[in-house]
Amino acid sequence: MPEERLARRIGFFDSTMVVMGGIVGSGIFVTPAIVASWTSTREEMIGAWIAGGAAALLGGFIYADLSRRRPFAGGQYVYLREAYHPALGFVYGWALLLVIQTGGMAVCAMTFGRYFRQLAGVAVAEGALAALATGSLTLINCLGVGAGARVQSALMVLKIVAIGALIAAGLTGAPSAEQEAVKGGTSFVAALVPVLFSYGGFQTACFVAGEMKDPGRDLPRALVAGVLGVIVLYVGVAFACDRVLGKAALENSAAPAMDVATRVIGARGASLIGAGVAISSLGFLSQSILTAPRVYFAMAEDGAFLRSLARVHPRTRAPVAAIALQGAVAIALALAGTYEVLLRYVVAIDFIFFALVASCLFVFRARGEPISMPGHPLSTLLFIGVCAAVVISTFARDPVHSLIGLALTLAGFPVYLLWRKAR
């Protein structure tokens, strides 16, 4: 088994931090304004964050069930491979490398470079800082999963502190006296798209199941605890932004978190939030470098990808080749400047795979395996329905980029067939 070659050094706390780190990026400092502009009332806006959190919690329970029965390195790749066919697992890994994960990593690396340069006052290009951050985290993760997990946990704790400070500022500052503006032509379902995307990422913790001390026990608990923790943070941020700015001002804010901090704390508030954005971006980048390479490692172990990616360092027992590949592709995208375009392809493809993975429960149940998902099959069908609504809404709002993302993903099938034929 590939798990026997990997080092099991991740405990429950680090697992929970990995779950939360995969969800919380820099977007929460901006997304509340988008959600406010797409909803008609304050109640709708807060309701969207709560509803999105409930959907994410359903997803957490689904992945908890799957991780309990398949606690192996690779996560979604393993579930799709064993429920359906190795080709579908390969296509997921293909999309993860070219679209889903790496584009987000490049965006966060560049975001970190932008804010760090402003805070530190250094005359270095954003791309160079992004490449330096990505390269440094890649080297740390090559030292072993223990080192990578410790850095990731530390960054996640700093993120929690930064977001907690923002919430505290919003709750203690003077409330806005502005009247709420009710907008027409908005859609609660449309507002759920950025919300649900903000809640995505918890599934990446399943990638490192093969390096957890007790994945059958710790990973399911970490998924539920991590998602619940993020719900508290996100709803708190949305409420704080609305309380201080008022919904009308929040709708038109380009940087709501910074506006809240500036209004409550003063000029120092902007610097504090800038530091928070930089830390959040670096934390998401760290989590991605820790988790995603395990998918390529698992694919290589199956002979479905470059065999060299299955190499494990004899001392650190880390899949260094897979980690280096992920870091190199992210650096290339950041330097090429194509990351923002790639990121626009992500939403629909991510939620297509969410639905496919959830459907694995029906396949395993048909094979006679017991299901521990609360409320299955209705709860699982509800989650799949939410994913389908997001996909449909995304295709309707941005059909060009959604279709390009789908085409890039489907290209993985002929690549898989050619790879198998070559072998």
Architecture of domain 2-343: Up-down Bundle (1.20)
The answer to whether 270 and 262 are in contact (CB under 8 A) is: yes
pLDDT in tens, 1-39: 455 577 788 899 999 999 999 999 888 888 899 999 888
Which of 234, 229, 213, 224 lies closest to 45, judged by CA? 234
The answer to whether 228 and 57 are in contact (CB under 8 A) is: yes
Residues 147-155, mean pLDDT to the nearest whole number: 91
CA angle 308, 311, 316 (to 5 degrees): 150
Residues 170-179, mean pLDDT to the nearest whole number: 74
Q: What is the pLDDT of residue 185?
A: 46
pLDDT at 173 over 50: yes
pLDDT in tens, 348-367: 899 999 999 999 999 999 99
Query: Per-residue b/e over 124-163, b at no fewer than 16 CB within 10 Å?
Result: eebbebbbbbbbbbbebbbebbbbbbbbbbebbbbbbebb
Residue 212 forms beta bridges with which residues? Answer: 10
pLDDT at 397 over 90: no
- Mean pLDDT score of the chain: 88
- Give the confidence band of 122 by pLDDT, cuts at 50, 70, 90: confident
Q: What is the pLDDT of residue 145?
A: 85
pLDDT at 378 over 90: yes
What's the token pair of residue 296? 């390529």
Q: What is the pLDDT of residue 412?
A: 94
pLDDT at 184 over 50: no
Q: What is the pLDDT of residue 340?
A: 61
Q: What is the pLDDT of residue 296?
A: 94
What's the token pair of residue 225? 């605890």
Per domain, the residue ranges of the chain are 2-343
Q: What is the pLDDT of residue 269?
A: 80
The answer to whether 416 and 77 are in contact (CB under 8 A) is: no
Residues 369-376, mean pLDDT to the nearest whole number: 92
Q: What is the pLDDT of residue 120?
A: 84
User: What's the helix, strand, coil split of the chain in %, to 5?
Assistant: 80, 0, 20
| CA 5 remoteness from chain centre | 27
Q: Mind giving me the DSSP string for 362-392?
A: HHHHHTT-----TTTTHHHHHHHHHHHHHHH
Coil, strand, or helix at residue 200? coil
The answer to whether 200 and 57 are in contact (CB under 8 A) is: no
pLDDT at 182 over 60: no
d(CA 182, CA 247): 9
Which amino acid, one-letter code, is at 120?
A
Asked if residue 377 has a cis previous peptide bond (ω within 30° of 0), the answer is yes
pTM of the entire structure? 0.90
Residues 258-272, mean pLDDT to the nearest whole number: 85
Which of 408, 269, 266, 300 lies closest to 350, judged by CA? 408
Best mean pLDDT range from 46-60, 98-112, 189-203, 399-413? 46-60
Kindly provide the residue ranges of all beta strands, DSSP E only, lying in 172-306, ordered along the sequence.
Answer: none
